[in-house]
Structure 1
């Protein structure tokens, strides 16, 4: 008998790849969302759509009645109340998976481990906030909602990705760096280029969600990220290799950046303190990470076929040119 999966979300990025992962592993799939974005699976008769707002408990109940899912993967739970409602409505499924975040960790450690590194706190005010400043707090409180549900007998787990990249990434964070490599032969990176902000390839996140649903221990959390973490300089070099182009990485100290009235924090994917997640618990379930060279080739190919350029994150090429000019005089 074919298992059925319900994906809350499912049309844009992580959810889209999750639906594809489930289909590739012989699931029948249903998605519940408001229908605000184009459905890439509209022509697939193995994917059904339930329209509604996931923050409405009645929508979740209607989805459960119509789909009767074996597993539920929750891609768009942004507040603790979302997780509490979902683990209540889907309390009897074989597996409920909440997409948390590496941002839920409340301490700077290398690496961050699921059962050791403390989580962020979350006040009642933060739990209902919508700003980016409280994202980690809200995700951490969602984790705690998963733990409480598991204590009550729900087969619920949390998956914590670091920054996710890959085809269809609407955040365009990595697209900024790809566009720089494709557009210029010299690319400024802040600092010495050796800072590390681990990322997770989106197809690996999708497989992690499925594996956690099938094999995860109720009440557990699982980190997911590339098993080989790249520095920012290595990221630019890997993009250049994937694009089959030449590119010089130009590290720029804070003093050098000041020539362009820039600071390191103005460059997307820069993080002063390394962010690295231990992924051994997930690997113990049989999960594997796509080699970063292969993941980057797919990501660059998708970028070239899209209209994304990462311009939202652009610190300004004219400012960078001033920095490059200063570097040439040193």
Structure 2
């Protein structure tokens, strides 16, 4: 049986990647920082090992014991970790680094792996775990991983854009699971979609900043997991592969899809920055707008990944699974709530 190692395997993408590998006959070892995210009843075919990723010697020793055929690495956020990884896993059949769609530093439609410039990196970013340096740090990790292929390492990158989907996870404690894979320092408890799912489930009127046409490409989590497996099996060393839904949605499209999934009708009220300010609100107070609200659309080409036989889940199916799990969870997106009272004041004013 082919063995796979998933580093960061109890997080959001890592958990689904483990499931994907199990479904395709792999024997899986999961490395994570501790046992908090392990299932109370370990799954057949999975071995859990506590390893501190920041301890290169411990990581190497654990990797030698496991001796995997392929490695899926969800936990590289600093260039030093990338350098260590491509050395430790230099002899595996495939090393796949989970990068990010945030590595790109150019406004292009779509952003292509081998054409669109990446963020520049500065040494002053080392050790900085904030969103300010996230794109440059991940981009530098990409360069390190891709350069390793020139030395004969079977190393590849997968660049998911904003990840969404059900948090059906290894532990019943949902606080152990990440909700979005773009940054290690984002809150792990809730998905940005949870806010809108809860809003549309509870109210028949909602405020949407702007005109609703902002576009930020997304990707369903199970599709990311499938992309990681397919690249490990069929990808070309040194290459990077974007991972994003084959359908691109505006912000309002996402809200409409959630409403359709909930089988509800909701009145959407658009508001400019000036109009919101009258009620002590700001467009960036509304989650998804914060990510989707760029003046320039964020769209990734997925042609390279699709050429390997990958495709994305139909949007209605992906959203149905996402909504169903969100409603049965303890999450309601309240950490992203701009304040319903302020929204109500706005809604009452525009209804007069």
**Given the two structures, how large is their TM-score scaled by the length of structure 2?**
0.90
Q: 1:41 to 1:78 in 2, by over 3 A?
A: farther
Asked if 1:263 corresponds to 2:263, the answer is: no
The whole-number CA distance in structure 1 between the counterparts of 2:241 and 2:233 is 13
> How far has the Cα of 1:122 moved from its partner?
1.0
Asked if 1:211 corresponds to 2:230, the answer is: yes
Checking the alignment, whether the CA contact within 8 Å between 1:252 and 1:323 is kept in structure 2 is: no
Q: Could you give the per-residue CA deviations for residues 86-111 of structure 1, whole angstroms, max 9, x where no partner exists?
A: 11000011110111111111112221
The whole-number CA distance in structure 2 between the counterparts of 1:12 and 1:178 is 22
> How far has the Cα of 1:171 moved from its partner?
3.9
Match of 1:231 among 238, 250, 253: 250
Give the 5 Å matches for 1:1-330.
2-40=1-39, 42-168=41-167, 169=179, 170-270=189-289, 271-272=293-294, 273-329=296-352
Checking the alignment, whether the CA contact within 8 Å between 1:191 and 1:251 is kept in structure 2 is: yes
RMSD value, Cα: 1.3
- Structure 1 runs of 4+ aligned residues shifted over 3 Å read none
Q: Could you give the per-residue CA deviations for residues 297-318 of structure 1, whole angstroms, max 9, x where no partner exists?
A: 0000000110011111111111
Checking the alignment, whether the CA contact within 8 Å between 1:176 and 1:310 is kept in structure 2 is: yes
Secondary structure at 1:60's aligned position in 2?
helix
Checking the alignment, whether the CA contact within 8 Å between 2:190 and 2:331 is kept in structure 1 is: no
The whole-number CA distance in structure 2 between the counterparts of 1:42 and 1:57 is 29
The whole-number CA distance in structure 2 between the counterparts of 1:248 and 1:223 is 35
Q: Could you give the per-residue CA deviations for residues 18-73 of structure 1, whole angstroms, max 9, x where no partner exists?
A: 00000001000001112253213742231001211112112221222221101000
Checking the alignment, whether the CA contact within 8 Å between 2:198 and 2:327 is kept in structure 1 is: no
Secondary structure at 1:308's aligned position in 2?
coil
> How far has the Cα of 1:320 moved from its partner?
1.2
The whole-number CA distance in structure 2 between the counterparts of 1:269 and 1:85 is 35
Secondary structure at 1:203's aligned position in 2?
helix
Mind listing any 5+ residue stretches in structure 1 that lack a counterpart? Answer: none
Checking the alignment, whether the CA contact within 8 Å between 1:236 and 1:249 is kept in structure 2 is: no
The whole-number CA distance in structure 2 between the counterparts of 1:41 and 1:223 is 34
Checking the alignment, whether the CA contact within 8 Å between 1:225 and 1:279 is kept in structure 2 is: yes
> How far has the Cα of 1:255 moved from its partner?
2.4
Checking the alignment, whether the CA contact within 8 Å between 2:216 and 2:297 is kept in structure 1 is: yes
The whole-number CA distance in structure 2 between the counterparts of 1:57 and 1:239 is 43
Corresponding residue for residue 184 of structure 2 = none
Mind listing any 5+ residue stretches in structure 2 that lack a counterpart? Answer: 168-178, 180-188
Secondary structure at 1:260's aligned position in 2?
coil
Structure 1, 191-200 or 251-260: larger mean CA deviation: 251-260
Q: 1:207 to 1:283 in 2, by over 3 A?
A: same
The whole-number CA distance in structure 1 between the counterparts of 2:305 and 2:349 is 46
